């Protein structure tokens, strides 16, 4: 249960300096959000690729969040320069109050990497991609922003794809197009950088990638 979790009343009440002290007074807010970041592999590998981009992991498990926090603190302390100053983590239920964390249109990338599958039909409402939540994801993502999803569970892949394709503010974008746009390093990290992704590799499992672009609201004609 997450009744003990505290949420900011609004993004404007959040003091990002606590999470990104090296960027204090830069006016920056996170641009990448890794939902259910687990042990933080994606954040760690993207941190040095995009050192000027703030990235936040959201994780619901206390110990796992603490692990990521410690991991980032250790990297910040041992690496020279401003490395890893741009990544941080927060313990939160990402299915609740996401718009309380991120200002409207502030994100350029949202990651859902190997989310919990919730196999049983009655558990589908617990899935992190659902029609209700897509409206929140569209709110925090800027037009042009990308949703990255990957899973080793084919049924979940089809589910996420179907919901995102049906939602008017998202359009499917293929891997090749994203690579041509210069997002190859992100795609590579999505495939291989997370702990769950590595586990799937060890077990020679398949990975299903699906990406979507946040489009401008359609005008009424």
> Which residue, 175 or 195, has its beta carbon nearer to ligand SAM?
195
Residue 94 near ligand SAM by CB under 6 A: yes
CB 187 within 8 A of CB 42: no
> Which residue, 61 or 104, has its beta carbon nearer to ligand SAM?
61
**How far apart are alpha carbons 108 and 53 in whole angstroms?**
10
Residue 95 near ligand SAM by CB under 6 A: yes
3-state secondary structure 97-143: CHHHHCCCCCEEEEEEECCCCCCCHHHHHHCCCCHHHHHHHHHHEEE
Single out the residue of 100, 168, 107 nearest to residue 135, CA to CA.
168
Residue 30 near ligand SAM by CB under 6 A: no
Residue 195 near ligand SAM by CB under 6 A: yes
Name which position in 20, 30, 33, 37 contacts ligand SAM (CB under 6 A).
37
Name which position in 29, 30, 31, 38 contacts ligand SAM (CB under 6 A).
38
Give the per-residue contact string, 52-81, with ligand SAM (x = CB under 6 A; - = no): ------xxxx--x-----------------
**Shortest spacing between CB 208 and ligand SAM, in angstroms:** 13
User: Does 136 belong to an annotated binding site?
Assistant: no
Q: How many CA atoms lie within 13 A of 85 on its CB side?
A: 15
Active-site entry in 2, 116, 152, 188: 116
**How far apart are alpha carbons 183 and 185 in whole angstroms?**
6
Name which position in 45, 194, 210, 211 contacts ligand SAM (CB under 6 A).
194
Q: How far is CA 163 from the centre of its chain?
A: 17
User: Does 83 belong to an annotated binding site?
Assistant: no
CB 170 within 8 A of CB 213: yes
Query: Which region among 20-28, 76-84, 189-197, 213-221 touches ligand SAM (by CB under 6 A)?
Result: 189-197
Q: Give the phi and the psi of residue 73 in degrees, each rounded to 5.
A: -60, -40
User: Does 162 belong to an annotated binding site?
Assistant: no
Single out the residue of 189, 112, 188, 197 nearest to residue 156, CA to CA.
112
Q: Is 116 a catalytic residue?
A: yes
Residue 47 near ligand SAM by CB under 6 A: no
Q: Which of the residues are catalytic?
A: 116
Q: Which segments are annotated as binding site?
A: 36, 59-60, 93-94, 113, 194-196
């Amino acid at each position: 249960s997450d009744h003990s979790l505290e949420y900011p009343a609004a993004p404007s009440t959040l003091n990002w300096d606590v999470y990104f002290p090296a960027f204090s007074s830069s006016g920056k807010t996170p641009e990448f959000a890794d939902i259910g970041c687990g042990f933080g592999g994606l954040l760690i590998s993207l941190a040095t690729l995009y050192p000027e981009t703030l990235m936040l992991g959201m994780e619901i498990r206390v110990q796992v969040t603490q692990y990521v926090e410690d991991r980032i603190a250790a990297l910040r302390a041992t690496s020279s320069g401003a490395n890893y100053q741009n990544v941080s983590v927060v313990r939160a239920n990402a299915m609740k109050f996401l718009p309380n964390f991120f200002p409207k249109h502030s994100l350029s990338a949202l990651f859902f990497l190997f989310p919990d599958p919730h196999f049983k039909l009655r558990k589908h409402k617990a899935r992190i991609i659902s029609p209700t939540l897509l409206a929140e994801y569209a709110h925090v993502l800027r037009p042009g922003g990308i949703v990255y999803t990957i899973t080793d569970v084919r049924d979940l892949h089809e589910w996420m794809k179907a919901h995102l394709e049906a939602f008017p503010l998202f359009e499917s974008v293929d891997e090749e197009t994203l690579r041509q746009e210069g997002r190859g390093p992100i795609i590579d990290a999505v495939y291989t950088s997370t702990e769950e992704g590595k586990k799937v590799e060890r077990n020679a499992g398949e990975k299903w990638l699906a990406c979507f672009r946040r489009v401008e609201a359609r005008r009424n004609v």
